[in-house]
Structure 1
Amino acid sequence: MKDIKIESILTVFDNLDELPKAIITLMLEAVKARDKAYAPYSKFHVGAAILLDNQEIVTGSNQENASYPSGLCAERTAAYYAGAKFPNAKMLKIAITAASQNQKTESPIPPCGACRQALAEYEVKQKEPIDIYFMGETGKVVRSKSLANLLPLVFDKSSL
């Protein structure tokens, strides 16, 4: 028997202003998408913006449903739309922001497990990492240089 150590390395920015201009622009697109979320049950609005290698920016917001499992997160909404609309484009960067109607969301909110798995599929498919930035409504922004960094033991087609 032996132990295996797994580490994730994240970069934390104190606020949006510390980011490169292109990432600020991408995050502001995610904020616009967040404002379009349909979240009457959780009151938790999430927006995502994905920069593709063809320079298109695709956005998505969470869409809830009274039958809770029927809703979809912002990250998957954006990723699936990008995959459907631009099937040959690579996802370079994704910006994610979340805000609650119940309280101020100041801590960075990472993608949920289902969204990590969905993004992992695209990262494996394109054989290149997706640069991920996430934040709450305000405050710190976290960067992960890849989805594999957030989900190190990825389940993919090689497992089937």
Structure 2
Amino acid sequence: MKEVKIETTLQVFDDLKELPEDVQNLMNKASVARDKAYAPYSKFLVGAAILLDNGEIITGSNQENASYPSGLCAERTAIYYAGAKYPKAKHLKMAIIAGSQTNPTTTPIPPCGACRQAISEYEVKQDAPIELYFMGETGKVVRSNSLANLLPFIFDKTVL
């Protein structure tokens, strides 16, 4: 038997003011997108914004459906729209803001498993990492220089 140790490094900022200006702008776009979320069942609103290498910023919000789990998370809404509208553009950075309408959300909320898989697909497709920034409604912001830090064993086309 061989033991494998997996380590990751993330940066944690105390608040949005510590981020570079371009990332603050991206987080603000994610916040505006969050306000457009349709989440009448979970009451959990999420917004995402993606900066593409062509300078475009694509946003998305979670969209729920009474027929769970037919809805779609903000991250996948944004990443699939970006891929459909700008199929050759690289995804450079993604900002995510999430929070509950029933409880204060002050801790950083990372992408769910399905969203991690979708983001991973685009990192593999473009052969380059996507910087991720995520937070709750207020408070600390976490930065990961790649989705690989959040999902170390990816499932991709090489195993098919």
The residue number in structure 1 matching 2:80 is 80
Displaced runs of 4 or more, over 2 A: none
**Separation (CA, whole Å) in 1 of partners of 2:131 and 2:94:** 6
Between the two proteins, what is the percent identity of the paired residues?
A: 74
Q: CA deviation at 1:7?
A: 1.1
Where do 5+ consecutive residues of structure 1 fail to align?
Answer: none
Q: CA deviation at 1:80?
A: 0.2
The superposition leaves residues 30-64 of structure 1 with CA deviations (integer Å, 9 ceiling, x where unpaired) of 00000000000000000000000000000000000
Q: CA deviation at 1:65?
A: 0.1
- One-letter amino acid of the counterpart of residue 3, structure 1: E
The residue number in structure 2 matching 1:67 is 67
The residue number in structure 2 matching 1:48 is 48
Q: CA deviation at 1:69?
A: 1.3
Q: Secondary structure at the match of 2:69?
A: helix
The residue number in structure 2 matching 1:12 is 12
Alignment of 1:138 with 2:138, yes or no, is yes
The residue number in structure 1 matching 2:35 is 35
Q: CA deviation at 1:99?
A: 1.4
Q: Secondary structure at the match of 1:103?
A: coil
**Separation (CA, whole Å) in 2 of partners of 1:108 and 1:98:** 8
CA RMSD of aligned residues (A): 0.4
The residue number in structure 1 matching 2:129 is 129
Alignment of 1:156 with 2:132, yes or no, is no
- One-letter amino acid of the counterpart of residue 113, structure 2: G
Where do 5+ consecutive residues of structure 2 fail to align?
Answer: none
